[in-house]
Amino acid sequence: MKAKKRIRDVVYHVIVFGIGILMIYPLIWMFMSSFKETKTIFQTAGSLIPNPFTLDNYINGLKGFAKVPFLVFFKNSLFISIVATIGTVISSAVVAYGFARFDFKGKKILFAAMLLSMMLPAQVLMIPQYLWYQKLGWVGSYLPLIVPYFFAIQGFFVYLMTNFIDGIPKELDEAAKIDGCSYPQIFGRVILPLITPALVTGGIFSFMWRWDDFLSALLYVNKSIKYPVSLALKLFCDPGSSSDYGAMFAMASLSILPSVIIFIFFQKYLVEGISTSGLKGERRRKKEEIRKTQTTVEDGGTGRWENWNLIEIVWNRLWTGSWNGRCGWI
């Protein structure tokens, strides 16, 4: 029995390894081709080993175009991606807190509209958005690439964080109210620390999507010095003259480094945020178990909790770890 299980595990890992190599082979080929001479890249496309090995593609690529170093394009992409990601995470968390903790008229309609917006192709809104930004005078700047993300326009992150916040027991909010916290303080000092995995997950996805965004930059950025990396890479290919594919592969290899580094360092939070945000039924079951462990005694006609159990432990850790003294009112 153990021998069969071992054989099955070996076969499974071999198949997964083979599929993984097949999926990343284009990236491996591009990276290895960046060390080949441009004229030999397609002549030796069947071989991964560069012969001769050269770093000229990286040197020529970093020189950039029209006296603009390629590092300027990296700086542009970092600025757009970081600022837009900050706006996406903050606005999505605030909207998700509203959906998860407050009841108001039209809540279900707004939530359904938010879900429907996730199914709407971006190309459908392309022309109306362009006309709108043109009237605002934003075309030619980074504003269309940054400002909209401060208004929670990406429903996926709102939905992700709403599910995550919905799994946090409301007794923590009630305990914070007893200690004098207002709603903004509850959000900042109780909810935000507990939804860190969801925030990191949203930040990773948002950064990757903004870093790889080509179409938006093509529409709204019209000066080469403001190009992000995704748009600057096309400058290496000139249909009217020769194309420097070696330099393009070299800069493309460098352009994927930020996404790879972020994924490696934040993989733990990414997996946790995705896996726990979908376990809505499991979190509700745990919340019910917590409620069952609480006993209520009557004290002058008002109910008080005698045994906090897990709620008390979590609240005390948040209390002692975040600040000393009472919340106070805003």
Question: Residue 228's closest CA among 86, 83, 88?
Answer: 83
d(CA 30, CA 208) in angstroms, rounded, equals 19
Whether 224 is in a domain gets the answer: yes
CA angle 155, 157, 158 (to 5 degrees): 60
Whether 316 is in a domain gets the answer: no
Q: Which three-class secondary structure string do you get for 28-61?
A: HHHHHHCCCCHHHCCCCCCCCCCCCCCCHHHHHH
76 with 32, same domain: the answer is no
The number of domains in the chain is: 2
Whether 83 is in a domain gets the answer: yes
Which residue has 């401060």 as its token pair? Answer: 150
Question: Residue 27's closest CA among 209, 266, 207, 249?
Answer: 249
Distances (CA, A) of 221 to 70, 114, 161, 227: 16, 28, 32, 7
The predicted structure's pLDDT at residue 291: 52
The predicted structure's pLDDT at residue 296: 40
d(CA 198, CA 269) in angstroms, rounded, equals 8
Whether 5 is in a domain gets the answer: no
197 with 230, same domain: the answer is yes
Q: Which three-class secondary structure string do you get for 89-158?
A: HHHHHHHHHHHHHCCCCCHHHHHHHHHHHHHCCHHHHHHHHHHHHHHHCCCCCCHHHHHHHHHCCCHHHH
d(CA 315, CA 308) in angstroms, rounded, equals 10
The answer to whether the beta carbons of residues 97 and 253 sit under 8 Å apart is no
Which residue has 């480094």 as its token pair? Answer: 257
Last residue of a domain, which of 274, 296, 325?
Answer: 274
d(CA 77, CA 226) in angstroms, rounded, equals 9
Dig out the tokens for 159 from the structure: 């939905």
Last residue of a domain, which of 249, 274, 299?
Answer: 274
Residue 280's contacts (CB-CB under 8 Å, 6 or more residues apart) are: 163, 166, 167
91 with 27, same domain: the answer is no
d(CA 308, CA 296) in angstroms, rounded, equals 10
Last residue of a domain, which of 238, 253, 274?
Answer: 274
CA angle 268, 273, 276 (to 5 degrees): 115
Residue 227's contacts (CB-CB under 8 Å, 6 or more residues apart) are: 73, 76, 217, 221, 235
35 with 131, same domain: the answer is no
- CATH for 259: 1.10.3720.10
DSSP annotation of 65 = B
> How many other C-beta atoms lie within 10 A of the C-beta of residue 297?
9
The predicted structure's pLDDT at residue 324: 43
148 with 88, same domain: the answer is yes
48 with 193, same domain: the answer is no
220 with 110, same domain: the answer is yes
209 with 145, same domain: the answer is yes
Profile the chain (330 residues) by mean pLDDT over runs of 10 residues.
84 93 91 90 86 89 86 94 95 93 90 87 87 93 93 90 89 88 90 89 90 91 90 80 84 90 79 57 49 43 43 51 46
Whether 201 is in a domain gets the answer: yes
The answer to whether the beta carbons of residues 246 and 59 sit under 8 Å apart is no
> Which H helix or E strand runs over 251?
helix 245-255
28 with 74, same domain: the answer is no
The predicted structure's pLDDT at residue 132: 93
97 with 42, same domain: the answer is no
115 with 27, same domain: the answer is no
Whether 284 is in a domain gets the answer: no
The answer to whether the beta carbons of residues 217 and 140 sit under 8 Å apart is no
What is the domain range of residue 35?
23-54
Whether 314 is in a domain gets the answer: no
212 with 265, same domain: the answer is yes
Whether 254 is in a domain gets the answer: yes
Distances (CA, A) of 84 to 113, 176, 199, 243: 23, 31, 14, 32
